[in-house]
A and B are shown apart, each in its own frame.
Chain A
Amino acid sequence: MDNINLRGYGPHLIKFIHVTKEYSRPEPALSDVSFHLVKGQFSFLTGHSGSGKSTALRLAHLVERPTHGEVCASGFSSLRTSRRDVWKLRRKVGFVFQDFRLLPGRTALENISFALEVIDSPKKQILPRAQRLLGQVGLAPKAGSWVDELSGGEQQRVAIARALASEPLLLLADEPTGNLDERATRGIIDLFWEINALGMTVLMATHDLELMRQYSSARVLELDEGHLVYDSAKAEPAFAESMRGPDEAPA
């Protein structure tokens, strides 16, 4: 996988500035949330179900707009990016879904080729790039397999490869291992770490505490009822201690 060129995007690749998101229910989904991720950072966004994790990712992907405040991702602001230009952000910010969202009736290679076609890739480059992306996620031998012939972990790898098709700077993942067993989960997270090691900024929503303990060097942002209640970048030592595994030395 190629190293990622992050020149020209400032130190922060994603910023939430006093973000509130309200829906019709009385309690806001997010309430005055502020944080920023620096380039190349790997962060977990955690919290119980309904805490606002998915909402935060949807705002970062400009699927929705904040009710108050501003979200900036890969240089695109929620206040200044029109609906017509959202596609530009989405080519800089990849998204991996919990339910994979692959196209049925197509092979692994065709799913990635479709994404490359959608983002106006030159026709001659589509097939070689799709094959390379599949190779990077370790699925080159499965290029011709239909989507429903792949295991859950393999489908998620294809989804990750598709998210990387536009060579984004930031990768958002909404509970990408939620539907996977332990072994597949480990494989997927390792893949995300490899991608991060090449410079990709990763923000992954998860409620799996064990997972976060295993990757304790990652930053942790915790949401509770829409409020940002913990940020490991500003953490108290006691909490940081609770996040380490039994064999890890203190920071």
Chain B
Amino acid sequence: MLYTVRETLIAFRRAPLLTGLSAAMVGLALFVVGLFGLATYNVRVYLETLEERVEVVAYLRDDATTADIAAMEGALTMLPEVLWVDFVTKAEALEKARELPEVSEIFTGLDVNPLPASIEIQLRPGNRTPAAADRIAQQAALHSIVEDVEYGQEWVDKLFTLRRMGAVTTTVLGTAFAVVAALIIGTAVRIAIFARREEIKIMQSVGARDGFIHRPFLLEGGITGALGGILAVALTYTTFWSVDYYLFVISWIPWEWAGIGVSFGIAFGVVASGYAVRKHLREV
């Protein structure tokens, strides 16, 4: 182990520019992943606030009785997807409309209240999906006192499509740039092997085990990946701080994500080095 650490440090001292450049390139590749992660996280946070507004509204007929309304409320509350239900009277509906700037003018000064009473149905977290909203809407529509049911089908669908796209995009781009990072590390290790080929030949000729020869390169790859990962986190945080300070409020990613990012950097570094060592050591 001492030999492994010593030889790795010697390698870094011997070629600091190569090490620095490799770590910088890995860092930049992972920085792009970090930016997409930051964007995806913030889109997710924003979408989660929108999801809280996913509710089903059942508009009631004017001749709905108090007993029918209570029965409907009771039946809907029993559904597992439903968090709460709230009966909104005609007067309350008019009051709410008058508070909306875009339509307050229309509803102010009316002698007749055109708005129906309604039952607003809020879904539980995890059930605020187009499918769940549609199921609840269909359940509500079964009641005879219901005139119409709405839940904003179009924008709910778009919301979830956007969320899926964000996840897929991050995964695809993340994978692509992780491959780039692995290639960079592999190339740096190949250069290091070439630079130390005479020493490696001597080690092989006197009977060194493969592991003895490989370990310094694996450690070198892991450290390069770690440095790159840390650099990526630093650059991503700098970007977050700049946008948050100068442009608009955004959220920083959970620190666990940053930790995972650095861990991936280390893992890619080790794996890429291992592959490069196995492939190119035979050419020595």
Contacts and interface: CB of A to CB of B under 8 A. Distances in A.
Interface of A: 61, 84, 87-91, 94-95, 97, 101, 103, 114-115, 117-120, 162-163, 165-166
A209 B204 CA distance: 32
B112 interface: no
B206 A165 contact: yes
A161 to B, nearest CB: 11
A73 to B, nearest CB: 13
Interface in B209-244: 209-210, 212
B208 to A, nearest CB: 4
Nearest to B3: A117
A118 B202 CA distance: 10
B203 interface: yes
* Most chain B CB inside 10 Å of its own CB: which residue of A90, A101, A118, A163: A118
Interface in B190-214: 198-199, 201-210, 212
Contacts of B199: 103
A200 B46 CA distance: 79
Given A87-B210, A94-B206, A120-B209, 17 more contacts: A61-B205, A84-B210, A87-B209, A88-B207, A90-B205, A90-B206, A90-B207, A91-B207, A97-B205, A101-B202, A103-B202, A115-B206, A118-B203, A118-B207, A118-B212, A163-B206, A166-B206
B207 A166 contact: yes
A84 B203 CA distance: 14
A162 B206 contact: yes
13 contacts: A84-B210, A87-B207, A87-B210, A91-B206, A101-B202, A103-B198, A103-B199, A103-B202, A118-B208, A119-B206, A119-B208, A162-B206, A163-B206
Nearest to B2: A123
A166 B208 CA distance: 11
A119 B207 CA distance: 6
* Most chain A CB inside 10 Å of its own CB: which residue of B3, B198, B201, B202: B202
**Chain A at the B interface: mostly helix, strand, loop or mixed?**
helix
B284 to A, nearest CB: 11
B180 to A, nearest CB: 31
**Chain B at the A interface: mostly helix, strand, loop or mixed?**
helix
Interface of B: 3, 198-199, 201-210, 212
B2 to A, nearest CB: 8
B42 to A, nearest CB: 50
Contacts of B207: 87-91, 118-119, 166
A61 B205 CA distance: 8
Closest 7 CB pairs of A and B: A91-B207, A90-B207, A118-B208, A115-B206, A87-B207, A87-B209, A118-B203
A162 B3 CA distance: 18
A90 to B, nearest CB: 4
A91 B206 CA distance: 6
A120 B206 CA distance: 11
Contacts of B205: 61, 90, 95, 97, 101
B210 A90 contact: no
Contacts of B204: 87, 90
A117 B207 CA distance: 11
A163 B207 CA distance: 10
A162 B207 CA distance: 11
A87 B208 CA distance: 6
Nearest to A111: B202
Contacts of A90: 204-207
A77 B212 CA distance: 23
A217 to B, nearest CB: 29
B12 to A, nearest CB: 16
B203 to A, nearest CB: 5
Contacts of A91: 206-207
Nearest to A102: B202
A182 to B, nearest CB: 28
Contacts of B198: 101, 103
Contacts of A89: 207
A240 B264 CA distance: 69
A118 B207 CA distance: 7
B172 to A, nearest CB: 38
Contacts of A87: 204, 207-210
Nearest to B203: A118
Nearest to A89: B207
A103 B206 CA distance: 13
Contacts of B203: 118
A235 to B, nearest CB: 32
B206 A118 contact: yes
A49 to B, nearest CB: 22
